[in-house]
Structure formats: structure tokens, C-alpha cells
Chains A and B, each alone.
Chain A
């Protein structure tokens, strides 16, 4: 599973510019579905027909975009100012290697006299080693996107660290679920959404065009087992988390109940997630068009939006079994 995840973690896909990662995922999932296509905003949709007459529509959503930056201004010396895309933790992003979509490498640094207290977007710049504006513009144009260098490595036991695990882990889970399903009882749409990090935008349009009856978002969640962190009854390794609520959604009890049942039937350990802050694609899935029965699976994650997001692959494996279980359950 580590190898499969690494394949999906490495390509760049900053919000609004996801074509790189989209192509990789499309190639991975294509053999297991009937049809793969992109919509106007760039959402990648993989469709698999269900058996029987008039099957219900089941939609899964994992966002393939990642937080990152966009070149907004290049000064005379060739230093590049970047605007943020998504919730950047500027302390975590300081003094890191960044890579533009065309492969140009640089380092993201705060201005020399800035103290950590003043870490703000406008105080940061990217140094690509250019000698002048002209030199820099040969490799980077205004509007080009870059991300903190991707990475994935094993920690002790089944734990893995790197970035962007948010939400390539969800993408990998959808691909693995598609591989694992024995028989599709429902018309199933595996959707790899765009622009989640800048405001759950891709989920809105893809859910509108699919108009699912049931929908599940798969994303990273929080963890409550680090030193002096906010209280949250979710621990790494105790199982995949079934979301009850976050700041933007209250999950449909029907979906929560179904997922619990499948987990119990198949002997998959699970936890319940109640997040005080943040949101995922779930909120838009629930509201798009006429609305649908929506829920979410959260992979318990430490240090989200940093370059060292940590998860436990056992939680991930359980999540994949629940997703496959939903595909194999006849929905009414």
C-alpha cells in the first residue's frame, strides 16, 4: 500500500492546477472502472455501472488538490512573491524546498528581519537562485503554481509520514477500493475533486452533475493523541474514523449507521470523529442540487498541512474495506 500511496503523493496538484496528479490517478483507476473523464473544473470522475435494474447512485469524493502557492510578483533581483492557495501553516512552510509544476526548484523563506510572530504571506518569497527578474521569468511566470516538495517515508510499525498525505491518502483509498470490490451493487462514481483546499469548490460542481443518492467523502481528519493537543477522541491506529460532524457538516445518520454496520459485519475497527474546526467535501456533497445522504470517512492524521503529516496504514486498510463494503451493499 505504501508504494501505491507514494505514486499518488508525488505528483504536483496545487488547487486549481491539478492536471498533473489527475493524469496519474486516471491511469491507476482506469483498468477497474467503465469510464474515466474530467469535467469543466478538472474533477476526475471514474464511473462503474452497478448490476440490476435502476441501481442507486453512490458517489465517493477524495480531493486530489493540495495546498500550495502561486507566483504573484517577481522583483528586479529575481525573487518571487507567492500568494497562498489553501490554509498554509507559515511556520511549517518556512525554509522548505518548493517545486514548480515545470520542475523548477526553489526555497521558500521569510524575509531576513521577520520574527516568527510575523510569519505572514506577504513576508515570504521564493528564491530559485535567479540572478535577475529576466532570469527568473525564463523559468517561472506569474500565475505558475508550486508546492512544498512532496515526500513519503515509513516510521515505526505501520505509520507513515510525509506530504501531501492530505488528501492523496483519500485518493489512494478510492483507487484501492475500486480494485477490491467484487460486485458493484450500485452505479458508483469515484470522484477525485479539485479545489477542496480553497473552499470545497470541485465537490459542488461534480455532485451537481452526478446528483448522487448517497455520497461519502474521504479525507484526512484530526488526531487527539499528541502531547498537549486539543481534546479529540481519535487515536492513530485505533481504526478509521466515521465522521459525525465538523464545522461545515452534520453527517446523515443513515450514512453513519450504514458505515458502522458494514464495519461491524466485516470486523473493521472504527472510531467516531467530531471535529470542532475545519470542513471537507462532505458539506457540498450533502447540499449539491437536491441534496443527498452524505457522510465521510476520516483518516486520523497528525500535523495536517505540514510537510510531515503522520498516519497509520492500518486505519487506511480498514477504511478501504468499508468503502468496498458500501459498493457491495445494495442501496435503496
Chain B
């Protein structure tokens, strides 16, 4: 699984340009699936189902990550950018950015030495940052990047001590990794004739750039599942300056995150309660999110699609979410993997 996570983490898939990651996933899962197709918005839908008709279950994880897009190039050869998604802007300057063709640039801004008082405290944002490409002028820069080019944080797979690993988009890719594992397990279950659900595995696109509805809605509408499970990275609260006990919640290494509700979804009561029971019974480490008012994920679109879908959400606690170095622990990924196998297939992780 570590090798797969590494392969996925080293690919770039800014929202709207997920092809590189999609190819890795498709290559990996195709031998195990009845079919792998794409809907018109780009969501990959992999199907494994038994002969007879039974409950349709959709499990999804998004392929994309936050990123950058070139919006203009000035006479001095600077590339000005738009942010794709909620990029962690406080730690941007000095970061390496890689465009999809491999061109590398550095996020640059006014030096900290000449910043006045509150300027330092203010986060950098699109108008105050640009990408330094090393180009002398506009003509030279235009040879390297064009308006509309997509980039991401420069990929890196950096194991830290213990079971910790860091890199851009690590939370999201860990979810993809868990879902790929589930695909393989479903295939094995089908061969063993123990598969009792029609399984639709959705690797979705454009999750990071949308505020209200998500691109996965089209896949959910098409599949029309009875039940859905959303996998996503969840922010953690083991930061330094938390003030109150009430801010306590999910921490890195504390197990998979089970949310009763967030701002976009009140998760299905029975699914939530039975998920808690399943974790208890199987001794799968689980924890609750920082507050029950997390901003929400693709579940917000999935549960309201079509005639309505009973929905549950499971998260991998991720530190430094949406930064150039997200941090996760394998034990949390293992917990999620064990849970989803037991939940969907009733087999051991």
C-alpha cells in the first residue's frame, strides 16, 4: 500500500486536470472491475456487482487536489496565478510549484524584511504573490508557461519517523489508496461469491474548487445509489494555539474520523450509529471530528442527489491540509481501510 500511495502522491491532479492520477488508478483497478467508465464531467466510475440485483452502494474519494492556474504574465516575466481551491496561503511563499508539463517555479512575494507591521501577519493572497520562473521578460516566460496552465505544489513523498508521511495532497491520495484497496477486496468477494451489494466506486473530480455543489453529484445522479460512503481528508485539531477543550476532536494518529454531521450534511442516523457500533465491535480506532460543524464534503451533494441517498462519511485525519506538505499516519489509513472492507464486504482488512 505504501508503494501505491507513493505513486499516487507523486502525480499531480489540480482540480479540472486529474488525468495523471486517473491513469494510475485506472491501470491499477481495471483488472478487478466489471467496468471502468468516465461520466461527462470526468468522474471515474468503477463497477463490481453480483449477478442478481441487490442494494446499490456508492463509495467515493476525490482524485483532485488544490492547485494554481496562470492568469497573466507581466513584462518582467512573472507568472501571476489564480488559486484553485482553498490553498493554505499562509505558508505559500518560497514553495515550489510544478506545472503539468514539468516546468517548476517558486511562489514569490515581497521580502519579509521590508514588510510593515501588519503586512507580515496578513496571509499572502493572489494579488501579492506570483510565480518566479527565472525568466528575464514576458517573451521568455511565455516559452515556459501559458495563460491557463495548471500547476500544483511540487510533489514529494517524504516519510517521517514512525508511520508518518508528508507530501502535498497526502490526505486525499490516502483516501484514493484506501478505495483502490476496497476495489480489490470487492473483486475477491465477487470471486468468492460473497458479494451482496452492487458496488460503484467513484473517483471524483473538481472537489476542491467548488463551494456549494460538487462535481460528484453527476455520478451520484447517474448511479442512483441507495447508500453512499464518502472518503475524504479531515482537518485535525492538534495544533498549538487551540484555546478550549471544546476545540478538541480528531487528531493525527487517533484513527478514522466519523462525523455525525457537518455544515453540508446531517449523516444518516442509522448508518452513523451502526458505523460506531462496527468500530467498537471490530476494535477499529475511530474518533469524532473537531466540531460537528465541519465545513462539509462531497456528501453534501451526494445525499441530496436524485431521490435522496442515505450517506455516511469517513475521514483520514490530515495535518496541514491544503498545504505543500500534508501529514498523515499509516495507522489512520489502515483504520479506514479495515472499516470500509468490513462495512461494505464484511471481510477483514
Interface on A for B, CB 8 Å cutoff?
15-17, 19, 39-41, 43, 70-73, 75-76, 81, 83-85, 121-122, 125, 141-143, 195, 198-199, 201-202, 204-206, 208-209
Contacts and interface: CB of A to CB of B under 8 A. Distances in A.
Contact of B304 (A15, A16, A75, A204): A204
B245 A142 contact: no
Interface residues of B, number: 28
Interface in B214-229: 226
Contact of A85 (B261, B303, B304, B306): B261
A142 B290 CA distance: 12
A71 B293 CA distance: 11
Contacts of B245: 73, 75-76
Contacts of A70: 260-261, 266, 292
B266 A198 contact: yes
Contacts of B306: 205, 208-209
B288 interface: yes
B307 A39 contact: yes
Contacts of B291: 72-73, 81, 83, 122
Nearest to A80: B246
B218 to A, nearest CB: 14
Contacts of B304: 41, 201, 204-205
6 contacts: A43-B308, A70-B261, A72-B293, A76-B245, A143-B273, A208-B307
B255 to A, nearest CB: 14
Nearest to A14: B266
Interface string B299-320: 0000111111110000000000
A16 B269 contact: yes
A205 B246 contact: no
B303 A81 contact: no
B85 interface: no
Interface string B268-283: 0100110010000000
Contacts of A17: 266, 269
Given A40-B226, A43-B308, A142-B260, A72 B269 contact: no
For the complex of A and B, 10 pairs with smallest distance between CB atoms: A16-B266, A143-B260, A205-B308, A83-B292, A72-B292, A209-B307, A41-B308, A40-B308, A81-B246, A83-B293
Contacts of B349: none
A35 B76 CA distance: 72
A205 B307 contact: yes
B173 to A, nearest CB: 28
Contacts of A72: 249, 260, 288, 291-293
A205 B305 CA distance: 7
B303 A41 contact: yes
Nearest to A69: B292
Contacts of B264: 199
Given A41-B303, A85-B266, A122-B246, A143 B308 contact: no
B310 A40 contact: yes
Given A70-B292, A142-B292, 18 more contacts: A15-B266, A16-B269, A39-B308, A40-B307, A41-B308, A70-B260, A72-B288, A72-B291, A75-B246, A122-B291, A143-B272, A143-B288, A201-B303, A205-B306, A205-B307, A208-B306, A208-B307, A209-B308
Contacts of A205: 304-308
Nearest to A289: B306
Nearest to B306: A208
A16 B292 CA distance: 13
Nearest to B225: A40
B285 to A, nearest CB: 15
A205 to B, nearest CB: 3
Contacts of B308: 39-41, 43, 202, 205-206, 208-209
Contacts of B248: 73
Nearest to B247: A122
A17 B261 CA distance: 11
B244 interface: yes
B276 to A, nearest CB: 8
A84 B293 contact: yes
B254 to A, nearest CB: 14
A321 to B, nearest CB: 32
Contacts of A76: 245
A116 to B, nearest CB: 19
A15 B310 CA distance: 14
A121 B310 CA distance: 27
Contacts of B266: 15-17, 70, 85, 195, 198
B44 to A, nearest CB: 25
Contacts of A206: 307-308
Contacts of B303: 41, 201
Nearest to A72: B292
A62 B246 CA distance: 35
A228 B83 CA distance: 45
Contacts of B226: 40
A122 B261 contact: no
Question: By CB atoms of chain B within 10 A, which of A17, A81, A121 has the most?
Answer: A81
Contact of B261 (A41, A73, A83, A204): A83
Question: By CB atoms of chain A within 10 A, which of B266, B267, B276, B306 has the most?
Answer: B266
Contacts of A85: 261, 266
A232 B273 CA distance: 45
Contacts of B292: 70-72, 83, 142-143
